Amino acid sequence: MNKRGILGIDTIKAVILALLVMAVFVVVTFLVTTTLRTSVESIDRSQTARVINETVGPVDEAGVTLGKAGYRQVSCTVQLAINATGGKPIAAGNYTSTGCNIAFPLGATEEAVADYNASNWKVTYSYVYAANYSNALTEYVLVGPGRFFTNVPTFFSLLGVVVLILLISIIIVAVTRFRQEGTIENL
């Protein structure tokens, strides 16, 4: 009676094929979610808002960052700057604004240095930023797996060892069956 194929090469082929299919599925899933995150971030709607009299400072040549600079893809436009102590408006030539940073310019007049440099300012500005609507909705799908794999590496290491031991034992059983059947038929 020939028992080849009961727990032999056919079983090993099926296990290896199942592992291969699972690996391909995992890789495709990560590729799709990465592409999804990129496209979701590009379709987020832009929102415009305005801040009135935000106190910043002391403002000097190094500059200070406005309060909304941490928003996603933000761009700030300063509309009005006032000296916070005297309430005197600061002319646009007496400050520079880049992104969401406002600074006192180098080479300003002595009067401007005396009145505005290294003092607190009240700044009114508008800002445009990418809203988090769709990004917040997909965060669990896109960021969740990364956090999951960060938090449970020990579990997956142990699972990998168990799968490796299982594969080795299946191969050993298959080889021993082959060897036993081969010796019986040859005798």
Place of tokens 């036993």: 180
3-state secondary structure of 64: strand
Instruction: Answer whether 91's CB lies under 8 Å from 78's CB.
Output: no
pLDDT at residue 25, rounded to an integer: 80
Within a 10 A sphere around the Cβ of 102, how many other Cβ atoms? 23
pLDDT higher than threshold 70 for residue 179: no
Whether the predicted model's global pTM rises above the 0.75 cut: no
Residue-level pLDDT at 186: 47
Chain mean pLDDT for the chain: 75
Greater confidence (121 vs 184) lies with 121
pLDDT tens readout for residues 134-171: 555 556 666 666 666 666 666 666 677 778 888 887 87
